[in-house]
Amino acid sequence: MSADSKQPRRFTGDLDTDRETVRQSLDGISEVIYRELTIGGVRRAVLVFISTNVNTELIAKHIIEPLQKLDRKLAEQQQSYGIFTGIPIIEPVTELRPAVIAILSGKTLMLTDGLGEASLLNTKGGEKRSVQEPTSETVVRGPREGFTESLNVNVSLVRNKLKTTAFKTTSFSVGSLTKTNVVIGYLEHLAEPDMIKEIKRRVASVDMDGVLESGYIEELIEDNPLSPFPQFQYTERPDTAAAQLLEGRFVIFVDGTPFVLMGPVSAWQMMQSSEDYYERSIIGTFLRWLRFGFLMIALFLPAVYIATITFHHDMLPTNLILSIAASREAIPFPALVEGMIMELSFEALREAGVRLPKAVGSAVSILGALVIGQSAVQAGIVSAPMVIVVSLTGIASFCLPRFNFAITIRLLRFPLMYLAGILGLYGIIIGAILIAGHMCKLRSVGVPYLSGVAPYRKSDNEDIFVRAPWWKHEKRPTFLNSANRKRMGSTAQIDKLRKRVPGW
């Protein structure tokens, strides 16, 4: 056996032996079907497939029927029968292991008596979700299609948008048990070659038993795993993925999830929504400013409020501080504790709202509004201004278009509140400096996280704090270092490619 395990098991050509070896490998899997047939009435063959993962109609109509009806003479002469079936994708296989993996992924193995080479027929089937509107990133104006759980569908959705041979894809199989298909896609003439090499190396070196979502890979390939900031962007929208490709980024499709990873990212990208680009530039710019404003509120407002009413009473207008003092008169907690209680209960409410079944969801909002919004204030547990601050902060954090970035901001609010509670504005500034320093240091696949601002690039600022109109938006981001910077008009690189690659 030890000699056997080193040498890969090959098919012998003897139908009964081969069938037995396959049967041993697939022992204990009740859905496996061994369907015997006689090709053209002369040659015995066995189809091995998993009944739940294949399209049985396809097997019946396009494999069994044509093979059985094959002309006897033809059947005797042939050494391979794949071409007589109606299946477009057929691979020859001689070893047991890849054959078994293929069977598990929904292919059909055809063993033929007297032939050492078996065929794998692609008969994948089973239930699939259709292309639907993405639920996590909705837009008013823009495409309504979203990625599905099927990798093939996802790649095709992007390829439909980029009809160019420059859109290259590399496939990986990740996960020792799940054998998840992972595809890295990029535009050859735009993406930095070293970056693509690096990301391929990182994905190829992922070694774990199962990859069920792109998040598994994201955490294993990011530059700084301890940073609270997301270093990849994910999307459910093919148009977003295509837009990122067009800026010279790569996308990572993972089979089994509608979320596609994209990188490298900058912090500014986290403030952009695909709709910024679909609406007119003035509106896009306004929405972006709104988001930046609310980003500051989401991050700093509770901290600034706590600092002001704990230390810096002179910073507020007299009437305002008197109103706050009046509403805080009966509150038993210090501002910091009050703020923590409220922010944590807001987070709990939000979490409950996400996880609960939809039917119970409305109960949470009623409880939240009644208990926290009204009763807590009336009972004198929390003050009304604090409720206003917390709700404003909550709304502000929902303004951020990227969920993973918004939750980072919500997380960073707590240390800032704590610093504000013990050190006042001084503490907030310390916290802000620490956050800014960390962001300056952070890299996403080697690209600085604040690219465009730090290091500063004038042309990149067309798409950071403003969304310049498309006619002004000629260059791609410099921080991705793409060879081909111009978005508009023909450029030397494209002309070169046209000459080199026929049909480009």
Pick the piece of the chain touching other proteins (CB under 8 A) from 175-183, 184-192, 327-335, 486-494.
Answer: 327-335
Q: How far is CA 53 from the centre of its chain?
A: 25
- Given a contact cutoff of 8 angstroms between Cβ atoms, the answer to whether 96 and 66 are in contact is no
Pick the piece of the chain touching other proteins (CB under 8 A) from 62-70, 276-284, 305-313, 449-457.
Answer: 305-313
Left (φ > 0), alpha (ψ -120 to 50) or beta: where does 248 sit?
left
State yes or no: residue 323 binds other proteins (CB under 8 A). yes
Q: How many CB atoms lie within 10 A of CB 169?
A: 13
Indicate the pairing of strand 443-444 with strand 250-254: unpaired
Q: In this structure, which amino acid lies at residue 228? A: P
State yes or no: residue 412 binds other proteins (CB under 8 A). no
State yes or no: residue 399 binds other proteins (CB under 8 A). no
Which of 488, 444, 492 is closest to 468 using CA atoms?
Answer: 488
State yes or no: residue 433 binds other proteins (CB under 8 A). no
Q: Which of 318, 358, 458, 502 binds other proteins (CB under 8 A)?
A: 318
Segment 114-173, which members bind other proteins (CB under 8 A)? Answer: none
Number of residues that bind other proteins (CB under 8 A): 27
3-state secondary structure of 20: helix
Q: In this structure, which amino acid lies at residue 145? A: E
State yes or no: residue 439 binds other proteins (CB under 8 A). no
Closer to other proteins at the Cβ: 123 or 327? 327
**Measured from the CB of residue 424, what is the shortest distance to other proteins in angstroms?**
8
Between CA 298 and CA 411 the distance in angstroms is: 10
State yes or no: residue 335 binds other proteins (CB under 8 A). yes
Q: Please measure the distance between the N-terminal and C-terminal CA atoms of the chain and give it in whole angstroms.
A: 53
State yes or no: residue 429 binds other proteins (CB under 8 A). no
- Give the x/- contact pattern for other proteins in 375-394, rule: CB under 8 A: --xx-x--xx----------
State yes or no: residue 341 binds other proteins (CB under 8 A). no
- Given a contact cutoff of 8 angstroms between Cβ atoms, the answer to whether 468 and 474 are in contact is no
Pick the piece of the chain touching other proteins (CB under 8 A) from 27-35, 215-223, 319-327, 398-406.
Answer: 319-327
State yes or no: residue 226 binds other proteins (CB under 8 A). no
Q: Supply 504's token pair.
A: 């480009």
State yes or no: residue 369 binds other proteins (CB under 8 A). no
Between CA 109 and CA 111 the distance in angstroms is: 6
Q: How many CB atoms lie within 10 A of CB 119?
A: 25
**Measured from the CB of residue 431, what is the shortest distance to other proteins in angstroms?**
12
**Measured from the CB of residue 336, what is the shortest distance to other proteins in angstroms?**
8
Q: Which of 27, 127, 207, 314 binds other proteins (CB under 8 A)?
A: 314
Query: Torsions phi, psi of 442, nearest 5?
Result: -65, 145
State yes or no: residue 437 binds other proteins (CB under 8 A). no
**Residue with tokens 């500014």, as numbered in its chain:** 268
Question: What are the residues binding other proteins (CB under 8 A)?
Answer: 309-311, 313-314, 318, 321-331, 334-336, 377-378, 380, 383-384, 421-422
